[in-house]
Amino acid sequence: MTGQVELSFPQLSAPWISEPRANIATHMGQVDALTQALAKDIALRLTAAIEARDVAVLGVSGGKSPVALFHALRVLPIPWAQVRITLADERCVPCTHADSNAQLVNQHLLQDHARAAQWVPMVSQTAQPLPALCELVQAASTALEASGTADVLVLGMGSDGHTASLFSDAPNLADLLDPLSTQVCAGVALAQPPSSAPYPRITQTLAQILSARHIALPISGADKLHTLRQAWLQRSKLLPVSYLLHQIHTPVSLWISP
């Protein structure tokens, strides 16, 4: 392969997308097959980046949704020693905490062949108390900036329309969504955080997210598909993921399964 990424699986149009966008590709299928296809696509892109620049950067998200993708990806024969793995966002807990995205990545992605990858956490501390949020943000920003531009950034989306930790009720949402922001990361302290993860967070800003060379957004399930449809119609701060769909500079691939 010489830098070109060639997909060997079909690209389809969702029936509700009446006006396709040049920078957005849509892939549809059953979840298991689509997960395998996405893993192969990521592998091709990382391998091409390594051939072009000797190193590849993969950004990933936490939560339960990407676990199957991590399992599919970690067994593929990528030159993992030349891959840096970073995060889109993180909870402000020690990196060994059960609720940390770092722990999820260590448990489910940094195994098998992918064990050789270079891991770049947002929060490197292993115990409480953690430094102040502003210090954690600065450390995460420095680490991500040193890692380089993400060749592939795999995002998730909640049924409420958030992606990374860009939540519609974040008090600093306007700054998080500023496309001209020079911030790499920012802190998010929600007044009413999810009960399953009631922690302050660190997130890449929208501007940093859109600096990626390619963004992959897998969506599965009726609730999330409904949210995606609404986000496709118009850009809205109520659905932060819509800001990915209504920009024209960064390539985005949607991987949609029912």
Q: Is residue 47 part of a domain?
A: yes
Q: Is residue 7 part of a domain?
A: no
Q: Is residue 158 part of a domain?
A: yes
pTM, to two decimals: 0.94
Residues 6+ apart with CB under 8 A from 200: 91, 92, 133, 187, 188, 189, 190, 193
Measured CA to CA, the distance from residue 21 to residue 137 in angstroms comes to 34
Q: Is residue 54 part of a domain?
A: yes
Q: Is residue 16 part of a domain?
A: no
Per-residue pLDDT reduced to its tens digit, 59-110: 999 999 999 999 999 999 999 999 999 999 999 999 999 999 999 999 999 9
For the chain, the first-to-last Cα distance in angstroms comes to 33
Please count the structural domains in the chain.
1
Q: Is residue 19 part of a domain?
A: no
Q: Is residue 17 part of a domain?
A: no
Residues 6+ apart with CB under 8 A from 111: 74
Q: Is residue 87 part of a domain?
A: yes
Query: Half-sphere exposure (CA, 13 Å, Cβ side) for 145?
Result: 12
Round the average pLDDT of the chain to a whole number and report it: 93
Q: How far is CA 40 from CA 35, 64, 195, in A?
A: 9, 20, 35
Per-residue pLDDT reduced to its tens digit, 198-254: 999 999 999 999 999 999 999 999 999 999 999 999 999 999 999 999 999 999 999
Domain that includes residue 56, residue range: 25-257
Nearest to 218 by CA among 58, 87, 89, 29: 29
The CATH number of whichever domain residue 123 belongs to comes to 3.40.50.1360
